[in-house]
Amino acid sequence: MSKGNSIIASESQMTHFLSKSLLWVMAIGCGASVANLYYCQPLLADMAQTFHVSAGQIGNISMLTQLGYALGLFLFVPLGDMRERRRLIVIMLFAVTVSLTGMAIAQNMVLLGLFSFAVGATTVVPQMIISLAVQLSDPKKQGKAVGTVMSGLLFGILMARTFSGLVGDMFGWRIVYLIAAALMLLLAFILRYSLPESYPTSSLTYLQLFRSLWELIRQQLVLREAAFMGAMMFGSFSCFWTTLVFFLRQPPYHYGTQVAGLFGLVGVVGASISPVAGRLADKKNPHLVAGMAAIIIILSFVCFWLFGHWIWGLIIGVILLDLGVASAQIANQTRIYSLVPGAKNRLNTVYMVTAYIGASLGSLLGTYAWSIWRWNGVCLVGGTMALLSVFVWSIKHFSLRAI
């Protein structure tokens, strides 16, 4: 096996090593690590009480985590094309362990914000794992591989809120981050002995790697379209989940952190259906699947706006939202991974950096809209972002039909 950059692998050298058991280990690893980005959302109200700040101020913590994640994706994920990935994954898991510990012991808003940004910047393991799963899989089954690993990632996103809501309600929000740090340390050892050693797929230098990102953006129209759609859909997703805890504390609900976290369980219903999108992307047109998913997200915000003051309306909306975002993510990543052989990490970097810039924008606009217009403002922001993704998707869709 390669040590460092001494051997450069072709796509064919790295495929067909993905067993079913390894695929599920990778899915669980994705879910456990991506959860770090979302623990804070049900805990924001409790954090605001600890530091005596407003909802608008504490909403910046969620935004900083997502901005940190975007920066981490930009700086670290492209290294997967030029360095041995298993070692990179283990190093990043140790780094995020330190960042999570810092979150747990932060004594003021400045430190909380800095460590929140650091947690985001070091939680890049999920995207490294997804790219590795695609590289190891049969090219004809890449959509299925992405769907399986993404289902683990999406379960992690949703269950993170349930876990942090329950644990935070019983023991306080700081304990959530101490437990998360211990989990990342354990995961580092599990993946060290479970993942195969991987060959680099590029001989580019670090500087050349970043220059190539711009070339990919400039040359690949599909990548630009998918990235913008991802940004808008993640923005609407983040807008809802960042503000839900504040909505549930108001009339007619008067619920606390625990119930806000339990809504993650509701979202599991939508995420559990999403692997179907991967199979459809393999058999049908992934562009069509992405458009249908965006329309589902719009419907979820219509449901939140019309029926959000009834618990059944929130439940239906959450199922639709998580189904739509999960399906769109799978379809879009299936589309971009087929564009340039040997550049999967860089393609994924462009897509995910853009997506999480959109997510941070959604958090910022969502908390701002909540502070001024309450729930109607949240629904307006989330629905508008989803509508923009459909608009961009429709330009290509109808131009293709006209040919």
In a domain, 11, yes or no: no
In a domain, 9, yes or no: no
Q: Which of 11, 3, 59 is nearest to 241 (CA)?
A: 59
Instruction: For residue 27, give Cα distances in angstroms to 153, 292, 330, 361.
Output: 6, 25, 13, 27
Neighbours of 118 (CB within 10 A): 21
**What's the pLDDT tens digit per position in 99-119?**
999 999 999 999 999 999 999
Are 191 and 308 in contact by the 8 Å Cβ rule? The answer is no
Q: Which of 168, 137, 372, 354 is nearest to 261 (CA)?
A: 168
Q: What is the largest CA-CA distance in the chain?
A: 63
Identify the band that residue 354 occupies on the pLDDT scale cut at 50, 70 and 90.
very high
Identify the band that residue 230 occupies on the pLDDT scale cut at 50, 70 and 90.
very high
In a domain, 199, yes or no: yes
Q: Among 15-19, 64-68, 141-145, 184-188, name the most confident range.
A: 184-188
What value does the mean pLDDT take over residues 50-58? 85
Identify the band that residue 347 occupies on the pLDDT scale cut at 50, 70 and 90.
confident
In a domain, 12, yes or no: no
The pair of structure tokens assigned to 385 is 């972002």
**What's the pLDDT tens digit per position in 357-383?**
898 899 889 989 998 999 999 999 999
Burial class (CB in 10 A: 0-12, 13-18, 19+), 196: middle
Type of residue found at 365: L
In a domain, 10, yes or no: no
182-186, 203-207, 292-296, 316-320: the lowest-pLDDT one: 203-207
pLDDT at 255: 87
pLDDT at 10: 46
In a domain, 8, yes or no: no
pLDDT at 278: 58
How far apart CA 26 and CA 187 sit, in angstroms, is 11
In a domain, 183, yes or no: yes
Q: How much is the mean pLDDT over the chain? A: 84
Identify the band that residue 12 occupies on the pLDDT scale cut at 50, 70 and 90.
very low
Judge whether residue 387 has pLDDT over 90.
yes
What value does the mean pLDDT take over residues 165-180? 93
Domain assignment of residue 202, given as a range: 17-402
Domain CATH code at residue 305: 1.20.1250.20
- If one counts the domains in the chain, the total is 1
In a domain, 46, yes or no: yes
pLDDT at 3: 41
pLDDT at 114: 96
Judge whether residue 81 has pLDDT over 90.
no
Alpha helices in 249-343 (DSSP H): 257-273, 275-283, 286-307, 311-337
pLDDT at 105: 95
The pair of structure tokens assigned to 155 is 């379960």
Determine what percent of the chain is predicted with pLDDT higher than 90.
42
pLDDT at 140: 66
**What's the pLDDT tens digit per position in 245-277?**
889 988 889 887 778 778 877 877 766 665 665
